[in-house]
Amino acid sequence: MASIRGIITGTNAAVWRTVNKAGVPWHKLPGPAAALNLAALREDLRHDNLHDTRDDVEEAELENLPAYRTYDGTMQDPYDAKMGSAQTRFGRNFPWEATAAEEPPRLLTPSPREVSRTVFWRDEFQPATGLNVLAAAWIQFQNHGWFGHGTNDPDRVVEIELAEGDDWDGEMLIERTTADRTRDPEDGRPATYLNKVTHWWDGSAIYGSSEDQNRVMRSGEDGKMLLIDGKLPLEEDPVLAGIDRTGFNDNYWVGLALLHTLFVKEHNAICDMLKKTYPSWSDEKLFLTARLVNAALMAKIHTVEWTPGILNTPVLQTGMHANWYGALPEWMAAARFLTKAIDIEAGAGIIGSELKHHGASFAITEEFISVYRLHPLIPDDYPICDHRTGELIENVEFNDVMGNDTRAAVDKFGWTDLMYHFGTEYPGKITLHNHPRALMDHTRVTGQHLDLGTVDIFRDRERGVRRYNDFREQLRMPRITSFDKLTPNPDWNAELEELYAGNIDDVDLQVGLLGEEPPEGFGFSDTAFRIFILMASRRLKSDRFFTRDYTPEVYTAQGMEWIDKNTMADVIIRHFPELAPALEGSANAFAPWRKAGPRSGAA
Amino acid sequence: MAIDFKHASFADGVLFSAQVAVPNVVQGLFRKRAPVVSAATLVHADQLAYRCTAALVRKYGADPFYVRVVAEEALLVHHPDDIRRVLEGSPAPFASDPDAKKKGMSAFQPDALTLSRGDLWAQRRSFAEAVLDTRKPTHRLARGFAAIAIAEADALLDLDRPITWDDLNSAFQRLTRRVVLGDAATDDVKITDQLAALMDAGNKMPGKPARGYVQFHALLQEYVDTPDPAALTGLFAAAPQDRETDPAGQLIHWLFAMGDTLPANLFRTLVVLAGHPLALAEVRAELAGKRLTTVKTVVGATYLAGCIQDTMRLWPTTGLFGRVTTTDVRFANGELVPAGTQVLIHNLFNHRNRTRVAYADRFAPEEWVSGGAAGDWSFNFFSHGPQGCPGAGLSIFLGQAFLGRLLTRADPVVESGPTLRPGKPLPYSIDLASLTVSFGR
């Protein structure tokens, strides 16, 4: 059967390689052809762009696989107990030889601070009018479930030289990413880094990545997570004052507080449903099953709502729906069965299909992390309005709703008006000259003062993520040959040419990604999208709880129904019913909601 | 001008007659015709009936609407509020003796409670309620009945071979004779056979007692005249009655409801639980370490009761039932329904109505334990209102004791018949004749 699949996908890939080489990109093709082209691109990416960094891969069928997600992500793969677990290495989308970290002077050339000041500085807020701020918070929420490099190394600090005229207060120091202590420093291979959270799409952002961490967030009854007066418990460490105790609370702000609390409430609602259905179940069984359901619901919302929201084209609408449900309708049972048998995922969807890793153990990759640096999404201004009348309550800034001020903001405005704000206002457009000003002069709860734009550039270089043209080449995309083809804005191109001293191949990845004109309807670049189509499918395809164990025996029939029937809007309205009027008529909860008041309507 | 409900088109009436009404009659209104039921299952007749009504409801909306059933128009009521209006208004102004039902039931129980009207209905109803302990939490003879149910379950297991519908039905007919008539009737299969023959005759809707009814009634009367204190007949003397009550004529209904309808539901429950291991585990957890001979244990098995009730919801043994207006009736918005109008309630559709029932096509016992199913007027396998089944509580109790015993002693395995798994929509019909269940121990 595999050979049938090989013939079909191989032929498809060969056809589209030829078409693309002839200069016709996938997004210029009509719908069905574009969909086939994307399937071909994914096949090539699976073949060429998955590289294992681990040297402790095991290959023996495991016995007594748990029918639930473990706290640290071990025992999830049927053959490799450690795969995807917390404290294991990030993978790569490019081969070892193309992942070497940059060393000085290249590491600091051109100065990451100058790149940030020149092309990231938000002169004027550029909104993404097809989305709401909830979409911005959502991707950060999901990212925190997929990856985290952990605390940086305070003993290895790089000083960024400041140009004349730079008004940065004091010296600019960046702590380097903590090294991978599991590596033999003498093996001569490029540096690798450890993921402090589980790589799996398992909701670790709210559940944590170890049992100890998880236990303190549990109520101990009926599988539920702890909520105190409808809020998460607060951290006890004075440094983290005002920040929720949750699975991942780095870079915390109200956007995350809203979503973490919302999905803890959802977890508890799922527990209620399961307890009603299976009254004899213990706290632990209820918790573990509710976690499975809640994580899958988040994955579904991300796949069929958030993604088509930010990549708003008919082919992606169809494609992401197909990733989850399959393109063939339920009544075409025989055809769905056939496509499932030969593992053509588009037919019956990835969900419930055969588990596959495509030659490399599952891990979030450094390149994936780079393309998800979407900081321009964050606005600087937050006009909080009354959800009933639409009247302005107060204009606040990002710094008023983040870090140690998070809980105070929640207490001051309340969940409903905050959620209403996130639903009705626009996020920033993912482009150059649109980094949030607050984050370019940002003091973290630890007291570190940083410019996130500078950090965005520095991290890619430090971690050996290729610069823009090399990155494209690794993805079999054409190199950009001159600055006038870099962005659609001639002024920006001129700025960049001067900044990079005319060396187009030196342009940083983040600069290229933000400058590139996205395909029509897309919220981000086609280059970033290549990593996306590979990894978005892989997060599902490599996870046994989305493939072979996506069954009623594991999830319960009621749990699967919960995943199937609920949308982001359902979740919001379940816990904030007063927001139902704002969501009325909304086809996607990540698109701007209806505004209250005399000038009611979409934002 | 009087406000009227919508009238479905002639074509829709033909469709409804062909896909809902006629198959319902052909499969046997009172006693199922096994070969016809098997054939109907093969052609998915119940699924077609569901789709037909669903399409009509989509087309004609939430209010009742008239639809032609062969020669005359009937009012199809499907919204739970309207169903409530009808069933709360039974037996007057919505009498439970529409023509077809009356003609059929006259063959084997011409003096049935459901065919009675006015004072006679009230009198017979109070007799039934007194004997069946309708308004009490448990029947006063429950302890003995539980022992009978356990003994019959044990006997079934002792067969030590896969069981068929005939095996289960025979066991339950025996149980029924003991519960209703007393131990003396344990092996009196003649009663069961005669009733079956009379009900077969009822399917042809003769409109009068069938041949053999008088002898059948006389046989039952003998049991009534020599009551068993441990059986329902032992309670007759103390129950309110007059010369027209006809106690022997009343118990006929209990014989077929308990002997045929209940085991059909229990067999299906057994098959569903065999394919739903998590639900089966709940049933066992509920009964773990308890003795089923204790009434409290049986009554406390609420999850098991939910399993039986949800099976009854999923596969109602009465797919379509009717009422007839005894006077002109006005509905909520002033719509006038003339006297003599047939009112139809399509259980098969209402129980699975996907737009109203979130758990329409899956096994959802929990909805009967802690959900809203018990208070939902869409579900009418025991009917609702003044004419709700007076033996519903006793029926569920017997089912709990019987299944509780089987399921705590053995693992049911479906040897033949449909595979019913969680996560897949459950079929609209299960042919009892196709089922064979073995018990692993």
Contact of A279 with chain B, judged by CB distance below 8 Å, is answered with yes
Dihedral, CA of residue B398, residue B400, residue B403 and residue B407, to nearest 10 = -150
DSSP B101-141: HHHHHTTT-TT-GGG--HHHHHHHHHHHHHHHTTTSSS-TT
CATH of the domain at A541: 1.10.640.10
- Joined tokens for residue A131: 């989305």
Cβ of A557 within 8 Å of Cβ of B370? The answer is no
Task: Choose, out of A277, A337, A564, the residue to mutate when testing the contact with B (most B CBs < 10 Å).
Answer: A277
Q: What pLDDT was estimated at residue A415?
A: 96
B26 SS3 class: helix
Q: Is residue B184 part of a domain?
A: yes
Contacts of A114 (CB under 8 A, 6+ apart): A163, A499
Helices of type H across A216-304: 254-277, 283-301
Q: Is residue A22 part of a domain?
A: no
Contact of B370 with chain A, judged by CB distance below 8 Å, is answered with yes
Q: Give the number of domains in chain B.
A: 1
Pair A525, A468: CB distance under 8 Å: no
Contact of B71 with chain A, judged by CB distance below 8 Å, is answered with no
In chain A, pLDDT over 90 holds for what percent of residues? 82
Pair A592, A602: CB distance under 8 Å: yes
Pair B146, B292: CB distance under 8 Å: yes
- Joined tokens for residue A391: 């009247």
Query: What distance in Å separates the CA atoms of residue B97 and residue B113, rounded to the nearest whole number?
Result: 10
Pair A243, A256: CB distance under 8 Å: no
Q: What pLDDT was estimated at residue B419?
A: 86
Q: Is residue A326 part of a domain?
A: yes
In chain A, pLDDT over 70 holds for what percent of residues? 99
A594 SS3 class: strand
Q: Is residue A165 part of a domain?
A: yes
User: Would you call A51 a catalytic residue per the annotation?
Assistant: no
Among B278, B285, B286, select the one facing A556 at the smallest CB separation: B278
Query: What distance in Å separates the CA atoms of residue A260 and residue A254, rounded to the nearest whole number?
Result: 10
Q: What pLDDT was estimated at residue B43?
A: 74
Question: Binning pLDDT at 50, 70 and 90, where does residue B2 land?
Answer: low
Q: Is residue A317 part of a domain?
A: yes
ipTM attached to this prediction: 0.78
Contact of B362 with chain A, judged by CB distance below 8 Å, is answered with yes
Q: Is residue A8 part of a domain?
A: no
Query: What distance in Å separates the CA atoms of residue A273 and residue A477, rounded to the nearest whole number?
Result: 48
Q: Is the pLDDT of residue A396 over 90?
A: yes
**Residue pLDDT, tens place only, B202-260:** 888 888 999 999 999 999 999 999 999 999 999 999 999 999 999 999 999 999 999 89
**Residue pLDDT, tens place only, A232-244:** 999 999 999 999 9
Q: How many CB pairs under 8 A join A and B?
A: 43
Task: Choose, out of A272, A337, A558, the residue to mutate when testing the contact with B (most B CBs < 10 Å).
Answer: A558
**Residue pLDDT, tens place only, B369-423:** 999 999 999 999 999 999 999 999 999 999 999 999 999 999 999 999 998 989 8
Q: Provide the shortest C-alpha distance from residue B385 to chain A (in Å).
A: 27
Among B282, B371, B423, select the one facing A551 at the smallest CB separation: B423
Q: Is residue B305 part of a domain?
A: yes
Q: Residue range A478-487: average pLDDT? A: 96
Among B281, B370, B422, select the one facing A552 at the smallest CB separation: B422
Contact residues on chain A for B363, CB-CB shorter than 8 A: 557
Q: What pLDDT was estimated at residue A598?
A: 64
Contact of A331 with chain B, judged by CB distance below 8 Å, is answered with no
Contact of B286 with chain A, judged by CB distance below 8 Å, is answered with yes
Query: What distance in Å separates the CA atoms of residue B142 and residue B140, rounded to the nearest whole number?
Result: 6
Q: Is residue A32 part of a domain?
A: no
Q: Is the pLDDT of residue B10 over 60?
A: yes
Cβ of A553 within 8 Å of Cβ of B277? The answer is yes
Q: Is residue B1 part of a domain?
A: no
Closest residue by Cα to residue A198 from A252, A139, A260, A144:
A144
Q: Residue range A44-73: average pLDDT? A: 92
Contact residues on chain B for A557, CB-CB shorter than 8 A: 276, 362-363, 422-423
Q: Give the number of domains in chain A.
A: 1
Q: What pLDDT was estimated at residue A603?
A: 46
Q: Which residues pair with B438 in a beta bridge?
A: B413
CATH of the domain at B284: 1.10.630.10
Among B276, B370, B422, select the one facing A276 at the smallest CB separation: B370
HSE-up of residue B231 (Cα within 13 Å, Cβ side): 24
Question: Binning pLDDT at 50, 70 and 90, where does residue A146 land?
Answer: very high
Question: Binning pLDDT at 50, 70 and 90, where does residue A599 land?
Answer: low
From A27, A144, A267, A357, active-site residue: A144
Pair A75, A65: CB distance under 8 Å: yes
Q: What pLDDT was estimated at residue A602?
A: 46
Contact residues on chain A for B286, CB-CB shorter than 8 A: 279-280
Q: Which residue of A has its CA nearest to B364?
A: A277
Q: What pLDDT was estimated at residue A519?
A: 94
Contacts of A319 (CB under 8 A, 6+ apart): A35, A38
Residue A448: what residue type?
A: Q
**Residue pLDDT, tens place only, A348-381:** 789 999 999 999 999 999 999 999 999 999 999 9
- Compute the mean pLDDT over every residue in chain B, rounded to the nearest whole number: 93
Q: Provide the shortest C-alpha distance from residue A560 to chain B (in Å).
A: 7
- Joined tokens for residue A536: 């978005």
Q: Provide the shortest C-alpha distance from residue A276 to chain B (in Å).
A: 6
Q: Is residue B425 part of a domain?
A: yes
Strands (DSSP E) along A18-98, which ranges? 88-89
Question: Binning pLDDT at 50, 70 and 90, where does residue A330 land?
Answer: confident
Q: Is the pLDDT of residue B42 over 80?
A: no
Query: What distance in Å separates the CA atoms of residue A362 and residue A356, rounded to the nearest whole number?
Result: 9
Q: Is residue A151 part of a domain?
A: yes
Query: What distance in Å separates the CA atoms of residue A513 and residue A466, rounded to the nearest whole number?
Result: 12
**Residue pLDDT, tens place only, A273-321:** 999 999 999 999 999 999 999 999 999 999 999 999 999 988 888 888 8
Cβ of A557 within 8 Å of Cβ of B303? The answer is no
Lowest mean pLDDT among A188-192, A235-239, A243-247, A432-436: A188-192
Q: Whose structure tokens read 């005249």? A: B225
Q: What pLDDT was estimated at residue B21?
A: 85
Residue B131 lies in domain: 6-440
Q: Residue range B27-38: average pLDDT? A: 73
Q: Provide the shortest C-alpha distance from residue A275 to chain B (in Å).
A: 9
Q: Is residue A598 part of a domain?
A: yes
Residue A553 lies in domain: 49-602
